[in-house]
Copies of this chain bind each other. A is one copy, B any other.
Amino acid sequence: MSDAVQALLNGVPLAESLLSSRGLHYGDGVFRTLLKYNGQLLDYKLQFLKLAHDAQALGLEPPATELLLAEAVSVSAGAASGVVKILLLRSGAGRGYAPRTDQADRLVLAYPLPAYPAEHWQQGISAFRCGLRLGRQPALAGIKHLNRLEQVLASRDWPDGAAEGILCDERGAPVCGTRSNLFWIEAGRLHTPALDGCGVAGMMRDKVLACATALGLEVRIESRPWSKLLDADEAFVSNSLIGIWPLRALEQRVWPAPGPLTLRLMSVLRHPYTAT
């Protein structure tokens, strides 16, 4: 990623490999966040499959699974548990939007494990409805790409005590959390919004859907009005780090959390945070 460019960062000359990255300049890349727990990179095969899917959606060649795994293991070798974030950034420096290659640079980062309160799993979380509505862009819907300004703006006015914000589409239908996928249960059926216009399809969403069908639950993947979420019998959010957080409170609605079907799904998911 070398470049003949001159650069100052806060006034100091800078010669960095990321300086001209299309990831920085355009967000031209995709990412996944993995949980490492007790030395294991959880669900890395499914994570890499989804990373490859998203890369291909942007016209990027996904790296070999063995290479990604080796780098994820290496970068996180210092800690038995933590977070590994893998970014694929379209290679090549220079200016101009038109992509000149399908090659991707791999940026693999290791972070400490976030310290979430145990109550989030045991008693559920309070969530709020974000003021910002997600724009509709079918070409990017569902993809975990690096253009995340909507999530940043939606997270600006975060109420005290809330652990997640729920995002709606432009018609006001719920889509997902700022960093999670959204589910609710109505009359024994599991509902989750379709992600064909906006939203991000997390790895844990796939796992929750798989667990639900394994449990014999009927599953509906479709856009539904906000009122359907508030009227639900149970609701929860999911992502790869938290597994499932039951929703306890959202606007005027209060649920017993975790609800009975949420609890069954949590138990089948066997996420390390809830299994311990």
Contact = CB atoms under 8 A, between A and B. Distances in A.
Interface in A12-42: 14, 16-28, 31
Interface string A107-148: 111111010000000000000000010111101100001111
Interface hub of A132, A139, A158 (most chain B Cβ within 10 A): A139
Interface hub of A9, A16, A22 (most chain B Cβ within 10 A): A9
A97 B152 contact: yes
A9 B19 contact: no
Nearest to A153: B139
Contacts of A71: 8, 11
What 5 A-B pairs are tightest by C-beta distance, nearest first? A135-B137, A147-B147, A98-B155, A27-B27, A26-B148
B140 A150 contact: yes
A78 to B, nearest CB: 7
29 contacts: A7-B75, A8-B71, A8-B74, A9-B17, A9-B105, A9-B106, A11-B106, A18-B18, A19-B107, A19-B109, A24-B146, A25-B31, A25-B146, A26-B148, A26-B152, A27-B147, A27-B149, A28-B149, A28-B152, A58-B149, A90-B152, A97-B148, A99-B155, A99-B156, A135-B135, A135-B136, A136-B136, A139-B153, A140-B150
A228 interface: no
A74 B12 CA distance: 10
Contact of A17 (B14, B74, B96, B198): B14
A97 B154 contact: yes
A10 interface: yes
A75 B8 contact: yes
Contact of A97 (B140, B151, B170): B151
Contacts of A134: 137
